[in-house]
Structure formats: structure tokens, C-alpha cells
Chains A and B, each alone.
Chain A
Amino acid sequence: MNWAETFRSGAEAIRSHRLRSGLTMLGIVIGISSVIVTVGLGLGAQNKVRSEIDALGSNLLIVSPGSSTNSSGIRGGFGSGSTLTLGDAAAIDTEEVAPDVAAVAPVVSTSGSLVNGTANWTSQVVGATRDWPEVRKREVSTGRFFTDEEIATGAPVVVLGADTASELFAIGNPVGQSITVNGTPMTVIGVLASSGASSTDASEDDLAVMPLTTAKQLSGSTSSTVSTIYVQAASQEALSAAYQEIQALLLNRHGVTEADFSINTQESLIETANETNRTLTILLGGVAGISLLVGGIGVMNIMLVSVTERVREIGLRKALGATPSVIRRQFLVEAGVLGAAGGVVGVALGIGTAGVLPRFIDQPVAVSAVATATAIVVALLLGIGFGVYPASRAAKLTPIDALRSE
């Protein structure tokens, strides 16, 4: 008996017991669809985190000063040092030195008290350069960003974050208005569009950006040290090359062998966030997997019932010349078809649920092709795996006993 015939007779057997076959598949259907949905939820959460972090600035490297251990073994806190300078930033920005770098944005940041008439607000004051909007992926929604000339002259101009602007100016357009920052009068020339990303970092929309030179004057500092240097790599692929180039360059410039600065990437942030998601996905996936296992046991149960019920049929088939291996194969194919059919229906249900679910809960669900294909294969193997025992029971029946039974 060839495979086509075996499949045909398996399909016939399933069709002639529609309700029972449907109920058998139900276990597999529920198991597979819940696996698809839980894996989809996990992937969706990972994608969400990635897009949120990407929104903060893509291909971003964050160079911070002083997190190394000094010679006497005392560790400086993160960013506590003052080892980074404008010179470092300028050096990174030279193409010959660091060809994988697209843009560099050194910043100094302090805290400042902003006052508009009777409204006052304490916020982060960031001194930045022209490339800051590009590197940090920020846009000005009204007004403009400051010019090179304003940076050169240390002009008293400021661009406010969206939240800061609404705190200081409850009504009316802030652009062109005058405020004081730590007592120094400044003109608001623009307002930043909301970063859109951060539930993770509220400060992204609560800040005041001014030319780096202006910020230096404000703090009365004459040094050229900076708080952070944001570096945008030329591409995602260039990220690790840029990392190494910057590291080598700064070690060389600082004349040290052990880094007195640290370089962080967005990847490390994503990793941390994904760690949590992965744990949750494994947990939920495990529960879904157990329901899949229960579904498989359901297949075995029904197949055993089916063997008992069809003893006469098995006996007849044997009398007509079916060998034990043919009978075994027939029941295995039946179980496999049940499993695979359950898998296909389960995948359809899972994808459907994944499409509808985001309307009810605030979570994206990403259906992965790999997970879908794997689910169908697993369902097929589950059917066959749990079909082995019933099939060998059927194969072992002697034709006389089988024919004799009523």
C-alpha cells in the first residue's frame, strides 16, 4: 500500500468521524494558537522596546567620562570625571581618525531654574552644538534651532522641550518670548517636538537646549570639558567599528592605557529590556506548551478509542492482506493528519487573535514566520508521537480476535 493510499484512507477515517476528529484537533488547535499568541506578544514587546530606543537616536554611541578605577583603586562614579573635552569631540568628528562616525554632539548639562513672569520651573539645561538635533533625532516643532553664529558668539537663545514649554507658557506661543535661566535673560527661539518615545525617560521632553558656549557662560566655567559626547555611527553595521575607533582615539588622546571614559550603545539598553521580556515569553510559552502537550495526550486518547472501536475493521483489513506495518502506518498517518490539521487551524486562529488582540490590550503582537512554521511541524510530530502507541496496539491485534469481536 503506497503513501497516497494511506493518506486517502486516513482522510476517509477522519471524515467519517467528523465530530470526534474535530474535538481531537481542538486540543492541538488551542495549544498551537496560544503558542503563536504568546510568542507573538513577546516579540511584539521586544519590537516595541527596540523602536522606542531607536527613537532616542539611531546608531547612537554615548561617550561618558570617568567610570574607570584610578591608580589607588578608588572607582569614580559614572560621569563624575571631567576627562572629556570639546577637543575630544572635535577629534572624533575628523573623518580621517574615525571614518565610521556620521555626526558628533558634545553636550554639557546642568540643572537650571527657568522663570517666565510668575511661572517658574526647574529643568535640565543642555548646552549643545548644531549636530545635536540630528544625533539625538529631535525636531523643532515651532521656531528654529540655533545657528553656528549663535554658538560662536554665545548668544542668549534657548530652545525648550515640549513639556518645559507648556509648563512655562500655559497659553500662547513661547517663540520670541523672553525668560530667565538661572537669572540670565534669554530669548526662546524654538520648541522641540515631543520625542514620542519615552515612557522610560520623562526628561526627554523636559529640557532647555542652548548653545554650548552660552551654557558655559551661564555656569561661569571657562574649561572645555563636556558632560557627554553623543556620537552617531554611519550605520548600524558601522557601530562596532565606530566604537573601537573612538576608544582607540580617546585612549591615545588621553595618553592612558586604561579607559578614563565609557562608551555605551543602545544595544545594551535593548538587551536589558529584552531580558525581562524574554523571561515573560518563556513563562507564557511554557504554559502554552503544556496545553499543547495536553492536546497531544487528547490525540492519543482518541486514537486508542478509535482502535478499540474499529477492531472489526482492522481485522477485516488484515484478513484482506494488510500487514501489521501497513496497519501501523495507517493509524500513524491518521494521527499525523489530525495533528497537522489541528496545527494549521491553530495557526490560523493564532494569527487571527494576534490581529484582533491589540485592539483590546495595549500590546503589539508580532507573528513570526519561523514560529508559525515550527508550530505546524510540532503539531504534526505531536500527532505522530502520540499516535505511536495506539498504532502499535492496532498493528498487534490478531486477525481472528479482531474479526471475532462484536
Chain B
Amino acid sequence: MSAVIELTDVRKTYTMGSLEVDALRGLSATIDEGEYVAVVGPSGSGKSTLMHIIGCLDVPTSGTYVLDGIDVATMDESALARVRNSKVGFVFQQFNLLSSLSALRNVELPLVYAGLGRAERRERAADALARVGLADRLEHRPGELSGGQQQRVAVARALVTEPALILADEPTGNLDSSSTREILALFDELHGGGRTLVLITHEPEVAARAERTLLIHDGALLDEVPV
């Protein structure tokens, strides 16, 4: 099985005035295709920084990061944007849907940046929404949907580009328990379909759904706990 994520001795140092803060101190990890991995750790442990680097939102200070065969550690902002577009599907805690656009247009957005034609975009976006069970909500605005439904729209948006990796940052943090179950069931289903999922969370019951847990502490991998 080929590796989707290969982190080798990744360091990230933030400079705050005269103070240098090491967020990641030489972290190495590999995540294979089709894996469902939870990244857990207390706040300040560096798990957000790791998520940014895995999601190509930021680059490491040193070390290498190979995402789906592409070395992204030294890419510039425009190249990173294109990698994010084609390789990573994001699911955020805040859903981050554009409130002025319909569910369909929100899901279309990554395809717009990929440069796809209108007809193909519509078709693929509608398909993705059908896959998350929202085939009858295409023209609804986010404000007209429940929290769980909004997060499902976000999952559809993450799926629509057929990315190598789906990266979810506290995806259930803003949801009630029944919506949480809905979304986690959806993740199980995606995992069953062979998708690679990386979930960042601090909730043990959410992390328990993953195959494997990466525990981050003080910017390094503390332990690997197979489930």
C-alpha cells in the first residue's frame, strides 16, 4: 500500500518578536492510502500546526513532506493552492460555507478553482451532495440547513474533487450528539469506500472511531496506538 502522507523530521518554528517557539520538533509519520487516522493531543501540543502542514496551508521550517508523491515542503503559495485544490478536501469545525451561495454552489467552489466547465461542475457537485444524503437540498442556503446538514455539505465539498486525502479539523466540535453520530457514520462510510481520512480532534469518543491514533505532545509524536 502506498503512502499518502510521508512526514520526515518536520520542524516548524514560529518567531514571535524575539521569542522562538517550536511548534513541531522533528516529527516523522506515515499515513497509507485508505487509512483512517485520528490526531489527538492537548491544546498547544502542535496538532493545529501539524494539520496546517498536512493540509498544505503552511510549509515546514525544515524537514520534508511528501503528499501523494509530491514534495510540497518548498512550494510557493500559488503552487500550494493548486495542490490543496486537487489533493486535499477540508472539513472545518465552523463548516466554513459561504452563506450567500446555495449548497450546490458551495460544493462547486473547489471545481471552479480547478477550472472545470459549468455543466460538469453541476453534475459532480450534485453527485457529491447525493452521496452525503442531501440530494433534495441542492438549492438551500446554509442558513436554511441544520448544523449537521451544513457539515454534510462541507463533507460533500471535500469529496467533490476526489482528493487523495480528506482532512477534518474538529468536524464535530460544533455539533450536537445526534449530528455528531450522523457525521461520524458518514466518515465510517467514506473509510469503507477506501478514502484516506485524517481527523484532528480532542474528543476521545471521536478518536476511537479511527483505525489508528497519533498522539501529539509538545510538538512530537508521543505514541502510536493501534486500535
**Chain A interfacial positions (CB closer than 8 Å to B):** 1-2, 5, 12-13, 15-16, 312-313, 316-326, 398-400, 403
Bound CA–CA A323/B100 (angstroms): 21
Q: Contacts A313-B98, A399-B57 known; A324 to B81 CB distance under 8 Å?
A: yes
- Known A16-B100, A400-B58; judge A321-B78 contact (CB<8 A): no
Q: Interface majority SS on B: helix, strand, loop or mixed?
A: helix
Smallest distance from the beta carbon of B138 to chain A beta carbons, Å?
Answer: 17
Q: Please report the C-alpha to C-alpha distance between residue A326 and residue B85 in the assembled complex, in whole angstroms.
A: 13
Structural contact, A316 and B84, CB atoms closer than 8 A? no
Q: Nearest-CB distance from A16 to chain B (Å)?
A: 4
In Å, the complex CA distance between A317 and B85 comes to 10
**Would you call B90 and A320 a contact (CB within 8 A)?**
yes
Identify which of B108-116, B173-181, B213-221 touches chain A: B108-116
Indicate whether B96 reaches chain A with its CB closer than 8 angstroms. Answer: yes
- Closest Cβ neighbor of A16 among chain B residues: B100
Nearest CB of chain B from residue A396's CB, rounded to whole Å: 9
10 contacts between A and B (CB under 8 A): A1-B113, A12-B101, A316-B96, A317-B109, A318-B84, A319-B90, A319-B96, A320-B109, A320-B110, A400-B57
Task: Pick the contact of B96: A5, A16, A325, A403 (CB < 8 A).
Answer: A403
**A321–B100 contact, CB under 8 A?**
no
**In the complex, how many angstroms separate the beta carbon of A333 from the nearest chain B beta carbon?**
14
Q: Indicate if B140 sits at the interface (CB-CB under 8 A).
A: no
A404 closest partner in B (C-beta): B48
Complex alpha-carbon distance, A400 and B86, angstroms? 18
Are B81 and A321 in contact, with the CB atoms below 8 A?
yes
List residues of B (70-118) whose CB comes within 8 Å of A's CBs: 77-78, 81-82, 84-86, 90, 92, 94, 96, 98, 100-101, 109-110, 112-115
Tell me how far the C-beta of A77 lies from the nearest C-beta in chain B, rounded to whole angstroms.
79
Which of A15, A318, A321 is in CB contact (< 8 Å) with B114?
A321
Decide yes or no whether B148 CB sits under 8 A from chain A. no
**CB within 8 A of B85: which of A312, A313, A320, A403?**
A320
Closest chain A residue to B101 by CB distance?
A12
Q: Could you list 16 further interchain pairs (A-B, Cβ under 8 angstroms) beyond the known A12-B100, A319-B96, A321-B110?
A: A2-B115, A13-B100, A15-B100, A312-B96, A320-B113, A321-B84, A322-B81, A322-B113, A323-B77, A323-B78, A326-B81, A398-B57, A400-B52, A400-B57, A400-B58, A403-B57
**CB of B157 closer than 8 Å to a CB of A:** yes
B55 within 8 Å of A (CB atoms) = yes
B136 to chain A, nearest CB (A): 24
A403: chain B residues at CB < 8 Å are 57, 92, 96
* Inter-chain contacts of B57 with A (CB < 8 A): 319, 398-400, 403
Q: Which residues of A contact B94 (CB under 8 A)?
A: 312
B113 proximity list for chain A (CB < 8 A): 1, 317, 320-323, 326
Please report B residues at the A interface, Cβ cutoff 8 Å.
52, 55, 57-58, 77-78, 81-82, 84-86, 90, 92, 94, 96, 98, 100-101, 109-110, 112-115, 157
Could you say which residues of chain A place their CB within 8 Å of the CB of B114?
321
Closest residue of chain B to A315 (Cβ to Cβ) is B96
Establish whether residues B78 and A325, one from each chain, have CB atoms under 8 Å apart when the complex forms: yes
Once the chains bind, are A323 and B82 in contact (CB under 8 Å)? yes
The 5 A-B pairs at the shortest CB distance, nearest first, are namely A321-B85, A321-B113, A16-B100, A323-B81, A323-B78
- A5's closest neighbor in chain B, by CB? B112
Bound complex: CA A202 to CA B92 (Å): 84
Say yes or no: A320 contacts B84, CB within 8 Å. yes
Q: In the assembly, what is the distance between CA of A15 and CA of B98, in Å?
A: 14
Q: Which residue of chain A has the shortest Cβ distance to B49 in the bound complex? A: A400
- Give the distance to chain A from B43, nearest Cβ to Cβ, in Å: 14
**Cβ-closest chain A residue relative to B58:** A400
Closest approach, in angstroms, between the C-beta of B32 and any C-beta of chain A?
24
- In the assembled complex, the CB of A328 is this many whole angstroms from the nearest CB of chain B, namely 11
Q: State which of A316, A324, A400 has its C-beta within 8 Å of the C-beta of B98.
A: A316
Residue of A nearest to B55 (CB): A319
Q: How far is the CA of A323 from the CA of B78 in the complex (A)?
A: 5
Question: How far does the alpha carbon of A326 sit from the alpha carbon of B81 in the complex, in Å?
Answer: 10
> Which chain A residue shows the least CB distance to B81?
A323
A64→B52 CA distance, assembly (Å): 91
A317 to B96, CA, bound (A): 10
Q: Compute how far the CA of A322 lies from the CA of B84 in the bound complex, rounded to whole angstroms.
A: 9
Distance from B10 Cβ to chain A, minimum over Cβ atoms (Å): 16
B81 touches A1 (CB 8 A): no
- Which B residues are CB-close (under 8 A) to A15? 100
**Which residue in chain A gives the minimum CB-CB distance to B83?**
A321
Cβ B112 vs Cβ A1 within 8 A: yes
Bound: A318/B85 CA distance, A: 9
A399: B residues at CB distance < 8 A: 57
- A318 vs B110: C-alpha distance when bound (angstroms): 10
Complex: A405 Cα to B127 Cα, angstroms: 32
Known A1-B115, A400-B57; judge A321-B86 contact (CB<8 A).
yes
Interface centre among A318, A321, A403 (most CB of B within 10 A): A321
Q: Which residues of A contact B52 (CB under 8 A)?
A: 400
Query: Which A residues lie within 8 Å of B85 (CB)?
Result: 320-321
Complex alpha-carbon distance, A322 and B52, angstroms = 16
Q: Which residues of A contact B77 (CB under 8 A)?
A: 323-324, 398
Q: Which residues of B contact A320 (CB under 8 A)?
A: 84-85, 90, 109-110, 113, 157
Closest partner residue, chain A, to B100 (CB atom): A16
- A338 CA to B1 CA, complexed, in Å: 53
- Determine whether the beta carbon of B84 is less than 8 Å from that of A319: yes
